[in-house]
């Protein structure tokens, strides 16, 4: 029996497959536009461990995977981690690290927390700071959805399928309180630069009631959610060309020291290190999940 030898061409083909990358972004169709922020169809191959830092962004993500598993760890305390092929990532106040090797493929659905509350029909506080298996919330429907997605002939078919699924479940789910939706939108418009006491006054609720209902239907308390939005605003301004100090001041931080301390507490590194990583990213690296947001940087590849 003769041993089969790999030709250089075969080796090159295998290497290309291991390092192949495909990313398709798509806005939802009209039926799901009220509930879904966007879709990302992805297929990444990595021969070496690949690690990405994901900063808090105020978005609930549903990753439905068909390939190898990914490990998600807390960037501030990496001892807290979970591994899976598919995950529901609730709102977080701190960054996470995503690590994988091999073929990673699937679809990520980006949801507002308001839409996620309607879609999953559970208190969003149960998802906050956690990464759950979709089966934990959707039961057998999660497995059926994954099979249907894997059988689709192309990305367009997968996105169309998800449009129908998310629109139908959101329509059947519980309604958010008008006051919570209003407060969530007000925080977004001000990039988190409004006091919780003022939010409560404007809704007509007590501060305690607003905090309780907001956490139930959004996931984080309004103060923490505001801090995430302020961090995102500083990142967006710096990514647009402003120095860190100016970006921090415009986002509402007292001074550079205050911003650096808050950044390290939430992201696990200094703003300077994060900016250096962003600046050294390869052209075409899919850094951010949504336009006008700074959501990640590649740490190792």
Host domain of residue 237: 178-273
Residue 65 has pLDDT above 60, yes or no: yes
Please list, residue by residue across 43-70, b when 16 or more beta carbons sit within 10 angstroms of its beta carbon and e when fewer do: bbbbeeebbbbbbbbbbbbbbbbbbebb
Q: Is residue 132 part of a domain?
A: yes
Q: Is residue 266 part of a domain?
A: yes
Helix axes 256-267, 222-239, angle to 10 degrees: 110
Instruction: Compute the CA torsion angle 255, 239, 288, 123 (nearest 10 deg).
Output: 30
Q: Is residue 3 part of a domain?
A: no
- Summarised one tens digit per residue, pLDDT across range 21-55 is 788 999 999 988 888 999 999 887 767 777 889 99
Residues 225 and 125 in one domain: no
Residue 262 maps to which CATH number? Answer: 1.10.10.60
Residues 185 and 103 in one domain: no
Residues 89 and 161 in one domain: yes
- Distance between first and last Cα of the chain: 39
- pLDDT for the residue numbered 300: 66
- pLDDT for the residue numbered 14: 39
**Separation CA 84–CA 131 (nearest Å):** 9
Residue 79 maps to which CATH number? Answer: 2.60.120.10
Q: Is residue 116 part of a domain?
A: yes
Residues 204 and 167 in one domain: no
- Summarised one tens digit per residue, pLDDT across range 199-245 is 999 999 999 999 999 999 999 999 999 999 999 999 999 999 999 99
- Summarised one tens digit per residue, pLDDT across range 94-122 is 999 998 877 888 999 999 999 999 999 99
- pLDDT for the residue numbered 15: 41
Which one of 152, 172, 192 terminates a domain? 172
- Summarised one tens digit per residue, pLDDT across range 155-200 is 999 999 999 999 998 888 899 999 999 999 999 999 999 999 999 9
Residues 158 and 30 in one domain: yes
What's the number of CA atoms in the CB half-sphere (13 Å) around residue 104? 25
- pLDDT for the residue numbered 283: 61
Which stretches within the chain are classed as H helix? Answer: 8-18, 113-120, 134-138, 140-151, 155-172, 178-189, 196-203, 207-217, 222-239, 244-250, 256-267, 271-279
Residues 195 and 153 in one domain: no
Which one of 140, 172, 204 terminates a domain? 172
Q: What percent of the chain has pLDDT over 70?
A: 91
Residue 288 has pLDDT above 70, yes or no: yes
Residues 103 and 160 in one domain: yes
Residue 251 has pLDDT above 90, yes or no: yes
Query: Which residue, 56, 41, 58, 271, is CA-closest to 157?
Result: 41
Cβ burial of 79 (10 Å; 0-12, 13-18, 19+) is: exposed
- pLDDT for the residue numbered 134: 94
- pLDDT for the residue numbered 237: 96
Phi, psi dihedrals of residue 41, rounded to the nearest 5°: -90, 130
- pLDDT for the residue numbered 20: 66
Which one of 121, 148, 172 terminates a domain? 172
């Amino acid at each position: 029996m003769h041993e089969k030898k790999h030709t250089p061409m075969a080796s090159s083909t295998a290497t290309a497959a291991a390092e192949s990358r495909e990313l398709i972004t798509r806005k939802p169709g009209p039926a799901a536009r009220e509930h879904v922020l966007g879709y990302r169809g992805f297929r990444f191959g990595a021969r070496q461990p690949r690690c990405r830092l994901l900063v808090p962004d105020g978005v609930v993500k549903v990753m439905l995977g068909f390939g190898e598993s990914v490990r998600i760890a807390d960037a501030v305390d990496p001892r807290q981690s979970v591994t899976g092929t598919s995950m529901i990532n609730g709102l977080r106040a701190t960054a996470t690290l995503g690590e994988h090797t091999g073929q990673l493929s699937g679809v990520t659905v980006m949801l507002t927390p308001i839409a996620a509350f309607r879609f999953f029909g559970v208190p969003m506080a149960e998802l906050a700071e956690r990464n759950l298996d979709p089966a934990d919330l959707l039961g057998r429907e999660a497995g059926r959805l994954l099979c249907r997605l894997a059988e689709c002939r192309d990305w367009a078919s997968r996105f169309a399928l998800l449009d129908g699924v998310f629109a139908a479940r959101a329509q059947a789910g519980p309604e958010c309180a008008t006051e919570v939706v209003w407060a969530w939108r007000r925080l977004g418009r001000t990039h988190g630069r409004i006091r919780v006491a003022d939010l409560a006054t404007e809704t007509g609720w007590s501060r305690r009631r607003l905090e309780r209902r907001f956490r139930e239907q959004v996931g984080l308390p309004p103060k923490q959610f505001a801090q995430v939005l302020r961090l995102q605003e500083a990142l967006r301004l710096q990514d647009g060309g402003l120095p860190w100090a100016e970006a921090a001041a415009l986002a509402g931080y007292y001074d550079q020291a205050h911003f650096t301390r808050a950044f390290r507490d939430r992201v696990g590194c200094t703003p300077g290190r994060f900016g250096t990583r962003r600046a050294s990213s390869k052209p075409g690296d899919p850094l951010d999940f949504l336009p006008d947001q700074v959501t990640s940087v590649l740490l190792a590849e």
